[in-house]
Structure 1
Amino acid sequence: MTFIRNALIVTADQVLDGTLAFDQQTIVAIDAGHVHQAGLDWQGDYLLPGMVELHTDNLEKHLMPRPKASWPVLPAILAHDAQIAAAGITTVLDAISVGDIDRDSVRMQTLEPCVAELHLAGQAGILRADHFLHLRLELAEEHLLALFAPLLQDPLLKLVSLMDHTPGQRQWADIDHYRTYVSGKRGWSDAKVESMMGHLLERQEQFAGVNRRAVVALCRALPRPVPLATHDDTTPAHVAEGVADGVGISEFPTTVAAARAARANGLGIIMGAPNLVRGGSHSGNVAAAELARADLLDALSSDYVPASLLHAAFLLQQQGFSLPKAMATVSRNPARMIGLQDRGELAVGLRADFLRVRMTRGIPVVLETWKGGARIA
């Protein structure tokens, strides 16, 4: 048995100065005070639950570190995994896109290799964090069903999200923000942006509705339940459509009205941690802090910056969250949203996933990451 003493332990409902004990992979005791003199002395640092990430496309940055510069898939996965573990994330759902607006994009080229190499790396025991799949389905993709069907039975699949990134609605209701994004991320000229607009609208009209109905039917027919999420809800009607489809999670609602509708219908609400750290949405949508103040935020996602997750959780205290409630948005709440009951909080009987964190100039710094009782970063 291993003891960690002299730590500020954040449980589901309190912060206590005490000792945590774990045996092999499981937490066996949490005690207030310095009841054990042996063990690891954490010198008053925080002992926090390992974080659970439901939606990160961070892997894409490693697959293409510079525009048009592709990187081998397995080394990209390992670099991504190391960054995830160093950020304090012990369980991650890699958000892999199925379909895209550009046939030659890194997303289209690496879908099958990424899934295959994630399996290989997991079986080889060379990943630090636990990796699962979050399949982000671009509903306007002409070949979506052919791309998605082979992945339906994948044992790593933990979440499916329904997305429509057609400009002029949802995340890209503001066309100027869309132009700025695609010209920067994809290197499109103004002329190409304009030429693509009509094509994307036609594609949405032809395929999005048909694909959505087919995907929902496929997911409902699965022998094991896979949670469904709806993405970038902007209106209560978007939420109502998701509820009718059996969706349980609203990812990144773009307005207060959509978030209120999600809450009224019992959906879990996820917002982006970078939104909170930066003080607003890069797409010009609702600020995560505004939803937090209205108690319309259940979970955070690091999205495109792994280190933002813990930082944002601590910033939630400025919006009226206690530290235990704030940490739940990056641990227990996301874990429960996808049916993981064995992790996500510091409690006797749960897996020994935890972090050593020290505050430096108001910023939480991860010093150690432990998963299943073993240090991984």
Structure 2
Amino acid sequence: MIITNVHMVLEDEIVKGSVELENGVIKSMSDTLSQLPQAYDGENGWLMPGLIELHTDNLEKYFTPRPEVDWPPFSAMSAHDAQLIGSGITTVLDAVALGDYREGGRRQENLDHLIDTVIESHKRGVNRAEHFLHLRCEVPHETTVGMFERYANLPEVHLVSLMDHAPGQRQFVNVQKYRDYYQGKYKFSDEQMLAFEKEQVARSQQWSAANRAEITRQCRERNIPMASHDDATIEHVQESKDLGMVIAEFPTTIEAAKTSHEMGLKVMMGAPNVVRGGSHSGNVAAHELASLGVLDILSSDYYPGSLLDALFQLADDERNDLDLPQATKLATINPAQALQLNDRGVIAEGKRADLLLAHHLHDHTYVTRVWRQGKQVF
């Protein structure tokens, strides 16, 4: 098929013209408009590579849409998949948490259902986006290594991240922010909150270092890409580099982000951070890192629609030097390269025909069409 009358967002420029798709890949591109009557008219929209999402727990919301409510797995997966495709995301790593930091947590109960559903829905060919797995390892827990070993050999695992959410460090250097977040999430009383804090600090001191070392050792053996999480200091970053991390997820300080970037780790921040203008945890704002030239990857995190919005917002932000092709790389070729998914992430001959068409209407950018491997899926 041919898509014509579009602004193609290429790796380093925008070209008005047409693109031809064949057998699931991009066959050719032209800077002229097609005159063939069967060509699809993109109506002057933006044709961009399909977005690549490395870290979202959005699927959990569909498995447990309300507290104590479990939803049928394939219905949940279908709704999640539709939301991602409708946001222009054609490749996604569904993040699942290993090592529950709250006894009896719904995450733990749903874990096998989540993983099995991601894998089986792919086998059935019913997903519109391509789904892989991201194992989020909560290192301050006695069960984390065993749980990691249970799933680490699945071929769908494309990324492992290691995190420690204990109060007083990394994401929650500000303990009051920690209390606000968890009391709001779990409805703890002040007394319950203090007991929870004490427990998390003790678990971190007992388990984090040993679990971090063992999981990273096994990832290196299996050649699974790894990401740090919430690094805050140069020491954190140096440790991450020494352990073999390739991505720095959500560094909490400018110092950590700059050091990560300099050491070759791809710095990933949340697209909601861009859209909202800052971090909900009170940490560094993504637009600050963009202005310093040390922002490499964006993730929609908890809100899929934020990813495309953030790309256009960064491209329009006079505080940085990003144009639209440069901003687009943050959610396309950069995450693809970090995971060695070298067949996608850019509009170029021979690459996968994973594409989105967007139009700017009434001060907002809308996804109007999506193709995965040349097949229209939205």
TM-score by length of 2: 0.97
Corresponding residue for residue 230 of structure 2 = 232
CA–CA distance in 1 between the matches of 2:76 and 2:177?
29
Q: Does 1:330 align with 2:331?
A: yes
Residues 1:175 and 1:68: Cα distance change in structure 2 (over 3 Å): farther
How far did 1:125 drift?
A: 0.9
Give the RMSD, CA atoms, in angstroms. Answer: 1.1
Answer whether contact 1:9 1:18 (CA < 8 A) is retained: yes
How far did 1:100 drift?
A: 1.8
Residue 259 of structure 2 aligns to a residue whose secondary structure is helix
Answer whether contact 1:5 1:37 (CA < 8 A) is retained: no
Corresponding residue for residue 267 of structure 1 = 265
Q: Does 1:21 align with 2:28?
A: no
Q: Deviations over 1:238-271 (max 9, x none)?
A: 0001011011110000000001110121110100
How far did 1:35 drift?
A: 4.2
Residue 18 of structure 2 aligns to a residue whose secondary structure is strand
How far did 1:24 drift?
A: 2.3
CA–CA distance in 1 between the matches of 2:192 and 2:235?
32
AA aligned to 1:191 is: E
Answer whether contact 1:8 1:16 (CA < 8 A) is retained: yes
Q: Does 1:295 align with 2:332?
A: no
Corresponding residue for residue 114 of structure 2 = 114
Where do 5+ consecutive residues of structure 2 fail to align? none
AA aligned to 1:340 is: L
Displacement over 6 Å in runs of 4+: none
CA–CA distance in 2 between the matches of 1:284 and 1:191?
24
CA–CA distance in 2 between the matches of 1:21 and 1:232?
42
Corresponding residue for residue 88 of structure 1 = 88
**Once structures 1 and 2 are overlaid, which stretch shifts more, 360-369 or 13-22?**
360-369
AA aligned to 1:104 is: G
Corresponding residue for residue 276 of structure 2 = 278
CA–CA distance in 1 between the matches of 2:99 and 2:107?
7
**Once structures 1 and 2 are overlaid, which stretch shifts more, 72-81 or 265-274?**
72-81
Q: Deviations over 1:276-311 (max 9, x none)?
A: 000000000000000000001001000000000000
How far did 1:152 drift?
A: 1.2
CA–CA distance in 2 between the matches of 1:59 and 1:118?
9
CA–CA distance in 1 between the matches of 2:262 and 2:118?
37
Answer whether contact 1:138 1:144 (CA < 8 A) is retained: yes
What is the count of residue pairs matched by the alignment?
A: 374
Residue 177 of structure 1 aligns to a residue whose secondary structure is helix
**Once structures 1 and 2 are overlaid, which stretch shifts more, 14-23 or 173-182?**
173-182
CA–CA distance in 2 between the matches of 1:161 and 1:281?
20
Corresponding residue for residue 76 of structure 1 = 76
Residue 44 of structure 1 aligns to a residue whose secondary structure is strand
Where do 5+ consecutive residues of structure 1 fail to align? none
**Once structures 1 and 2 are overlaid, which stretch shifts more, 3-12 or 171-180?**
171-180
CA–CA distance in 2 between the matches of 1:183 and 1:375?
44
Q: Deviations over 1:67-107 (max 9, x none)?
A: 33232333222211111111000000001111121121121
Answer whether contact 1:136 1:160 (CA < 8 A) is retained: yes
Map 1:25-104 → 2, pairs under 5 A = 25-38=24-37, 39-104=39-104
AA aligned to 1:47 is: L
- Equivalent in 252, 255, 262 of residue 253 of structure 2: 255
Q: Does 1:364 align with 2:365?
A: yes
How far did 1:220 drift?
A: 1.8
CA–CA distance in 1 between the matches of 2:190 and 2:362?
42
CA–CA distance in 1 between the matches of 2:142 and 2:13?
50
Residues 1:22 and 1:106: Cα distance change in structure 2 (over 3 Å): same
CA–CA distance in 1 between the matches of 2:35 and 2:350?
20
Answer whether contact 1:3 1:36 (CA < 8 A) is retained: no
CA–CA distance in 2 between the matches of 1:362 and 1:12?
25
CA–CA distance in 1 between the matches of 2:59 and 2:3?
33
TM-score by length of 1: 0.97
